[in-house]
Structure 1
Amino acid sequence: MSEEGLFTIHLEQQEGFQITAKFDWKRAPDLLMDEGPPLGEQAGPNASRMLAAAAANCLAASLLFCVFKDEPPANCLRAEASCGVARNDKKRLRVNRIEVRLIVADVVKEAPRFARCKDLFEDFCVVSASIRQGIPMLVTILDQSGEVLHQSA
């Protein structure tokens, strides 16, 4: 379940605020992302929705791996992610909370490892554990020739 190292996702603006994300896995399809009105047309999820989905997916996979290892039963878990967005003191919209609910079938809660895993799995979720700590980010703007136009401090 380890994925240590650096990976790169390529994004390309199509029209308006629609952006296609191209993943580094050959079998993973491209994903169209968009903003909601008045900017976009909601033709795909926006970044906040992807962040909430990523946290819920990572937690679900972590729990299933801990309980069942390589072969979890089909259809034994559902997840819901709620993402709060509010303005900060500078009036900028920010994700201010993510709430994830994992709904497990009896086969999960009756599994021998469940009692132990329910206290461990969150610590092994790469995404939610990172979000909780804050994620250092470096942002760079380049022109098409590769000249750096801006880089965050």
Structure 2
Amino acid sequence: MASFRSSVWDPLLIISQIVFMQSQFYVLFCLYLLIFTGMAHIQPTLTHVLSSKMLVTWHQGWPIILSYSLSALSGAISLRYAVRRSKNCMDFTVTMFFMHALLSCVTRGFPFAWQWWVVTSVSATVMVVLGEWLCMRMEMADIPVVGGSLVSGAPSSKRPGL
């Protein structure tokens, strides 16, 4: 029995959505980081992206915090267009931040700084909540019905002679 908006298991679609979300996160994070480290007169490195140690000092940390924040906001917008389902927003966001944490662990060691965990958790939460809200707005939009047009401002059921 078919149901409204039934989902079909499509692993290629899911993998491509994960790759897109991860790619847009890193591209936008690095772009924001480049802008903010330039404003702070800091030479950006890969350590700024993957290391938790850079968040400990305010001079090095604020560009990273702003980059995380703006990347989360941008990621929520990407969820709306790439994932398009509010019930999948948390799954894709957690997957994206888990893969970021895994990459950080592999390349720079386990992130022991509590600041990294707070910034990452808040960014993920913002991305999930805003992404779900944007997707719900899209899902709740009116569906246009073809053939139910208005004639001279009156609904079709109230047209004279029908």
By the TM > 0.5 criterion, same fold? no
The structure whose residues are more often strand, as a share, is 1
**Is the radius of gyration larger for structure 1 or structure 2?**
2
